[in-house]
Amino acid sequence: MSDREADRLMGVTVADRRADLGRFLLSWFAIPSALVVALLLGAVMMLVLGANPVTGYVALLNGAFGGSYALSSTAIQAVPLLLVGVGICIAFRANVFNIGGEGQIAMGGLAGAATALALPDLPSFVLIPLVLLAGAGGGAIWGAIPGIFKAKYNVNEILSTIMLNLVAVQVMNFLLAGPMVDQSPDSVGGLIPETKLLSPNSQLPILVPGTQLHLGVPIAVLVAVCVYVLLWRTSFGFQIRSVGLSRSASAYAGMPVKRTITMAMTLSGAMCGIAGAILVFGSISHRMVTDGSLTGFTGSAGFNGIVVALFGGLNPLWTIFSAFFFGGLIVGGSALQVATGVPSDLVTALSGIVVVLVVSLEYLRRRARARTITLAGPRAARPPRPPHTNAPSTADARGDE
């Protein structure tokens, strides 16, 4: 079935596709204006806290984008955001809300580290793909569980993914302080919850000497491109998107709705799992270390990746830029803190404001557009459909029972 036929079957009109484009374009208006407002608010906050906003922002920009070293730090920071974001694109396109990224990243890291511990002597060109695949597998399992629960037992994925995050952190602490702990004198005989130094064959090579840019960066970009192809150039991707648009219509068209939902969550988890593996094998320390929290390992990428995916319009390719931008904000936040004494939490607060402003402005722009299009013709006046976080209708909510 071609996309076009399918579109007709699904009732997806040309207007919808244009609207999708329009929605994206307008976000280019929305994002800069939201950024300006957020930056002004940030400046006010810095002034109130007795810091010089110009110094602060210069430090932020310099820390994030000033020079090759800063750029490579930003790129490294962007990798987990990008992979989680891409995973979120898959899940949201299938209309399932994955907030289990944090746990899926941790499970991916653990699976990758366990593989490297078990098979340290394999050559690099075998071991690196293997540990990344193992990471994908670990994340996939942690994503599949809520997927299956949702498809089979109608357990809401928001509930199960949140709960699985809580389980993942304890599993991580248990494994890293117990079965996987480094017993050598380096870690004071097991008092530090970390694995031993992982095989050098599993370390992601640095691509540009003198920077931190490692193989994980092109891998993440490649994964994003592949997911784009998967979602828009394969029949399986079409299935994911149509299930996301309407479960009942997809079921009517003979698609395996339950299996698609499970697969979308599994793939979404797999992306997060790769992020976890890259966090381990691209890390400076080249071990997996826990400070007892998920954030200590993930840097909150499981949450921030959701925002990154939104800013990429739920399109894996645009998510690449969005991840780079947010990675820069995080890296720059540390520089801002050192330069002005304003805690980098300011950046967290500002990114929250940006998110709220963008999703709000989007509606205003959309309404303005809708009004102009109405003049052109009534058929095109349908408002674009935002990706919903939940089942779109009663029938859909129960459609798979």
Beta strand extents in 49-120 (DSSP E only): none
Q: For residue 236, give the nearest of 392, 95, 94 by alpha carbon.
A: 94
**According to CB under 8 A, which residues from 287 to 326 bind another protein?**
287, 289-293, 295-300, 303, 306-307, 310, 315, 317-318, 320-321, 324
Q: Is 213 in the site for another protein (CB under 8 A)?
A: yes
Q: Assign residue 155 a region: left if phi > 0, alpha if psi is -120 to 50, beta otherwise?
A: beta
Site string for another protein, 62-81 (x = CB under 8 A): xx--xxxxxxxx-xxx----
Q: Is 46 helix (H, G, I), strand (E, B) or coil?
A: helix
Q: Is 32 in the site for another protein (CB under 8 A)?
A: no
* Phi–psi pair at 237, nearest 5 degrees: -65, -40
Exposure class string for 348-364: b at 16+ Cβ within 10 A, else e: eebbebbbebbeebbee
Could you tell me how many residues make up the chain? 401
| From 127-135, 240-248, 259-267, 380-388, span contacting another protein (CB under 8 A) | 380-388
| From 116-124, 126-134, 261-269, 359-367, span contacting another protein (CB under 8 A) | 359-367
CB of 179 to another protein, least distance (A): 10
Q: Is 200 in the site for another protein (CB under 8 A)?
A: no
Q: Is 364 in the site for another protein (CB under 8 A)?
A: yes
Q: Is 247 in the site for another protein (CB under 8 A)?
A: no
What distance, in Å, lies between the first and last C-alpha atoms of the chain?
A: 27
Q: Is 393 in the site for another protein (CB under 8 A)?
A: yes
Residue 186 to residue 233: CA distance in whole angstroms: 50
Structure tokens at 238: 């079409």
Q: For residue 269, give the nearest of 82, 78, 91, 149 by alpha carbon.
A: 91
**Binder among 53, 138, 193, 276 for another protein (CB under 8 A):** 193
**According to CB under 8 A, which residues from 107 to 146 bind another protein?**
none
**According to CB under 8 A, which residues from 151 to 180 bind another protein?**
153-156, 158-160, 162-167, 169-171, 173-174, 177-178
CB of 119 to another protein, least distance (A): 21
